[in-house]
């Protein structure tokens, strides 16, 4: 048996974590022969709830789960980590300005970045889920200067999975027959779900998504808005935010970092922008199509971008630049 790895989940008493922890602990993410020490971090008032989560994990009797450590202390939570999944963030409250939300989250992710810097292994892989995920991820990475920027990513896999599923349902195939959709930019309503390079396997024949769907006005209209607004639609229906689908996307994202992407396929994740072929400004966490090998991602460069796509990619860039510039003013505060 391999040595156990230490995996941190923050916001561990919350509903996304509740859907996530079982999958991690039973080997769906880091492998069926990889023992795990799960570290569960949350704020002090949530510790009694966390104790209940620990009891349930123990009661699952999972052979790979070597230990579960609940804590409200960063020095315990971030110690010697192999992987950190940062789910906890300040949610937007009614009447709250976006700027106030950013300020609260800069404080959280600055603290967590500093804790990564001080306590975690330098090889740690960090996935930021808590919103605004792209900018929170950038702040965390800036606060951990000795950990490579490439080790940080934020979750746009949920949007990617949503896009894939929408196309699959429209064509009448299962979602594994749709590949190479792209989410560009911010995990917000400005994100751009792009299927110009996507492929659909339709009755054994590979078709471009635009040909398979055969409805350009849907692909350039309702498809995009459905993916962009899906989170809000789930909240409206359930009165709670996406949890099962978010947890599944987190598992997909981390598993791909650990084991790589299949040949000929890419996935979407928010990664550090520096010198790409798409004219995306540097020093942002921006969602790109990436391929992963040996735990290292590489942006898929050189895809053709038409004017329709360009405008949408630029709009989401502009939002990220504005978010970053606002957030950075809070860093020194």
Residues that constitute the known binding site: 42, 92, 98, 105, 129-131, 162
Q: Is the pLDDT of residue 110 over 90?
A: yes
Question: Before 149, cis peptide (omega within 30)?
Answer: no
Q: pLDDT higher for 156 or 100?
A: 156
Secondary structure (DSSP) of 121-190:
-TT-EEEE-SSSHHHHHHHHHHT-TTS-GGGEEE--HHHHHHHHHHHHHHHTS-GGGEE--EEEB-SSTT
Average pLDDT over the chain reads: 96
Residues that constitute the known binding site for NAD(+): 42, 105, 129-131
pLDDT of residue 183: 98
pLDDT of residue 95: 77
pLDDT digits (tens, 9 = 90+) for 15-52: 999 999 999 999 999 999 999 999 999 999 999 999 99
Alpha carbons 196 and 212: distance in angstroms, whole number: 12
Mean pLDDT of 148-173: 98
- DSSP character for 151? G
Closest listed residue to residue 288, CA positions, set 137, 187, 139: 187
pLDDT of residue 136: 97
- Cβ within 8 Å of residue 61, ≥6 positions away: none
Alpha carbons 165 and 174: distance in angstroms, whole number: 8
Alpha carbons 231 and 235: distance in angstroms, whole number: 6
pLDDT of residue 156: 98
Q: Residue 309, Cβ neighbours under 10 Å: how many?
A: 18
pLDDT digits (tens, 9 = 90+) for 254-263: 999 999 999 9
187 tagged catalytic? yes
Mean pLDDT of 169-192: 97
Which run of H or of E encompasses 170? Answer: helix 157-171
Residues that constitute the known binding site for substrate: 92, 98, 131, 162
- Cβ within 8 Å of residue 173, ≥6 positions away: 200, 201, 202
Domains of the chain (ranges plus CATH)?
5-154 (3.40.50.720), 156-323 (3.90.110.10)
Q: Which of 187, 197, 202, 253 is catalytic?
A: 187
Q: Is the pLDDT of residue 333 over 60?
A: no
- Cβ within 8 Å of residue 277, ≥6 positions away: 299, 301, 302
The percent of residues in the chain predicted with pLDDT above 90, rounded, is: 93
pLDDT band at 272 (very low <50, low <70, confident <90, very high): very high
pLDDT band at 100 (very low <50, low <70, confident <90, very high): confident
pLDDT digits (tens, 9 = 90+) for 183-241: 999 999 999 999 999 999 999 999 999 999 999 999 999 999 999 999 999 999 998 89
Q: Is the pLDDT of residue 96 over 90?
A: no
Q: Is the pLDDT of residue 92 over 90?
A: no
């Amino acid at each position: 048996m391999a040595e156990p790895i230490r995996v941190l989940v923050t916001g561990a008493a919350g509903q996304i974590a509740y859907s996530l922890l079982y999958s991690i602990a039973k080997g769906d993410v880091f492998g069926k022969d990889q023992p795990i020490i799960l570290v569960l971090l949350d704020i002090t008032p949530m510790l009694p709830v966390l104790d209940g989560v620990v009891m349930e994990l123990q009661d699952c009797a999972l052979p790979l789960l070597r230990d579960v450590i609940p804590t409200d202390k960063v020095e315990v939570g971030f110690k010697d980590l192999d992987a950190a999944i940062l789910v906890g963030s300040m949610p937007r409250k009614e009447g709250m300005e976006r700027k106030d939300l950013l300020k609260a989250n800069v404080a959280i992710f600055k603290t967590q970045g500093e804790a990564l810097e001080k306590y975690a292994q330098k090889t740690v892989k960090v996935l930021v889920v808590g919103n605004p995920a792209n900018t929170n991820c950038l702040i965390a990475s800036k606060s951990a200067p000795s950990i490579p920027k490439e080790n940080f990513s934020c979750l746009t896999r949920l949007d990617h999975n949503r896009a894939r599923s929408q196309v699959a349902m429209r064509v009448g195939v299962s979602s594994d027959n749709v590949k190479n959709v792209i989410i560009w930019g911010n995990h917000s309503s400005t994100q751009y779900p792009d299927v110009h390079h996507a492929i659909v396997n339709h009755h054994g024949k590979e078709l471009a998504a635009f040909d398979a769907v055969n409805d350009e006005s849907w692909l350039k209209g309702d498809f995009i808005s459905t993916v962009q607004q899906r989170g809000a639609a789930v909240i409206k229906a359930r009165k709670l935010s996406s949890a099962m689908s978010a947890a599944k996307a987190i598992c997909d994202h981390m598993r791909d970092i650990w084991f790589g992407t299949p040949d000929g396929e890419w996935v979407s994740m928010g990664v550090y922008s520096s010198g790409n072929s798409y004219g995306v400004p540097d020093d942002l966490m921006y969602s790109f199509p990436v391929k992963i090998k040996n735990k290292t991602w590489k942006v898929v460069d050189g895809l053709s971008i038409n004017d329709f796509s360009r405008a949408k990619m630029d709009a989401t860039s502009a939002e990220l630049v504005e978010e970053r510039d606002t957030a950075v003013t809070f860093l020194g505060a």
